[in-house]
Amino acid sequence: MSNLYERLGGEAAVNAAVELFYRKVLADGRIARFFDGVDMDQQIAKQKSFLTMAFGGPNNYTGADMRNAHKRLVAQGLNDSHVDAVIENLNYTLRDLGVGEKEVKEVAAIANSVRNDVLNK
Amino acid sequence: MSLLRYEDRPVDIRPGETVLEALLRAGIDAPHSCRAGNCQSCMHRAIDGAPPPESQSGLADAQRAMGYFLPCICRPTTPLTILRPDDLNASLEAIVRAIDPLSEDIIRLRVEADGFAYRPGQFIELSAGEDLRRHYSLASHPEEDPFLEMHIRLHQDGRMSRHLAETLQPGDKVHVAGPSGSCFYEGVNVDQPMLLIGAGTGLAPIYGVLRDALHKGHRGPIRLYHGARSRKGLYLSDELRALSDARDNFNYRPCAFDPSAPHGGDVAATALEAERNIADAAIFLCGGENLVKRLKRELFMRGASLKNIRSDVFTLSG
């Protein structure tokens, strides 16, 4: 059995998902404020990077990168409920794209695995 | 001889090594994060030589056309000279050819700069003296005009404004550096709908893009919205109206602030109401920061792809 990233469709799957996902995040009143004032083009590249990681694709992120990238947001109140909301939006995005429940769960589990680093716990 | 040059110096790069690894090994503090070609933090620009196509993966068409690439996934096989993404090329001498009024407070500056390559809609840094430098967008077309054309709003207390209005004369020397920016036609499909929205002198790049689209035989519908604080600010409206009358696929919609007009004459609200079907459109947004940010977000939320939205934010510096 090929790995998760290949089963999902690799980079093409990330490209298909990234704008759908970003729209859902920006439309979600629970988390939209964390994206106020950020440059959308830079942000979409970061979202792509995040999805690549969550899809089990190539990345070299370290726990320290995750911590540094979210430090400012944690200071603004980023907590578990916001991580839950992001993962929820990720699930909806994958279902919109017709991804099977098994893969949806695997992606959610990878996203969840960086929770403590993201929240600087 | 090394395959890699950074600015004006050679940088040693080993076989199989990425450009990012070579830069870091040479002690150059190059920004980076994911090291996997995703986050784009490390983006640089090649000014000589072609970066391998895989090192431009995920970049917008406009960025690829300008030589942008990702050092963390770039293993060059042919020589490359690279710059930081915001670095301008050396500046060139230019001669002022004409300074004419376009409206009450907007002038048209034309300067001649031999061998200055650009795409209509990009911006340059104009230097009119020691620390008197400003960015202006180009409304001219390199294959149609023997000059660079800028549209400049004059501010009462602006140093550059006063210099342009009171001192500078045809024949005087200035310097130009660049070009920069991704507001240009290249990368748009000839059948794609185009949506162009400019406010104030944000019309300059929009006008440049429009001219290039027509020059290159664009076939899809083109809709141009120009916003101004008053009717007098709707410069070039005669030219744009004439074009709109002469071309089936070009539509011009001037919007001046006016309490009795629909949406008070607000260009963003007017365009957002009229433009419902933008998922496949090539979109160009030029104007103040609030306007550009608002339109970009709204159009994206309505289904426009960010890679199809090109924008330039105009900041006020007199």
DSSP B193-226: -EEEEEEGGGHHHHHHHHHHHHHTT--S-EEEEE
Question: CATH code for B194-313?
Answer: 3.40.50.80
**Cα distance from A89 to chain B (closest Cα, Å)?**
15
All CATH 2.40.30.10 domain ranges of chain B, comma separated, are 92-180
The answer as to CATH 2.40.30.10 being correct for domain B92-180 is yes
Residues A3-34 as b/e (b if ≥16 CB within 10 A, e otherwise) read ebbebbeebebbebbbbebbbbbbebeebeeb
**pTM for the full model?**
0.85
Instruction: Please state the CATH superfamily assignment of the domain spanning residues B4-83 in this structure.
Output: Beta-grasp domain (3.10.20.30)
A71 or B316: which leads in pLDDT:
A71
What is the per-residue pLDDT for A59? 82
CB pairs under 8 A between A and B: 47
Q: How far, in Å, CA of A110 to CA of A53, rounded?
A: 8
**Cα distance from A42 to chain B (closest Cα, Å)?**
8
All CATH 3.10.20.30 domain ranges of chain B, comma separated, are 4-83
Q: Nearest residue on chain A to B307, judged by CA atoms? A: A41
pLDDT tens sequence across A62-81: 888 889 889 999 999 999 99
Interface confidence, given as ipTM, is: 0.91
What is the per-residue pLDDT for B41? 85
What is the per-residue pLDDT for B318? 58
What is the per-residue pLDDT for A120? 93
Residue ranges per domain, chain A?
Answer: 4-118
Q: Which of B33, B58, B301 sits opposite A27 (nearest CB)?
A: B301
Residues of chain A found within 8 Å of residue B297, distances taken between Cβ atoms: 26, 40
Q: Nearest residue on chain B to A27, judged by CA atoms? A: B301
Both tokens of residue B197?
Answer: 């929205």
Sign of CA dihedral B247, B249, B255, B259: positive
**Cα distance from A77 to chain B (closest Cα, Å)?**
24
pLDDT tens sequence across B38-49: 888 899 999 899
Residues of chain A found within 8 Å of residue B35, distances taken between Cβ atoms: 60
pLDDT of B228 > 90? The answer is yes
Both tokens of residue B178?
Answer: 């660049």
All CATH 3.40.50.80 domain ranges of chain B, comma separated, are 194-313
Fold of the domain spanning A4-118: Globin-like (1.10.490)
What is the per-residue pLDDT for B298? 95
Q: Which of A15, A23, A60 sits opposite B34 (nearest CB)?
A: A60
Q: Which of A40, A60, A69 sits opposite B300 (nearest CB)?
A: A40
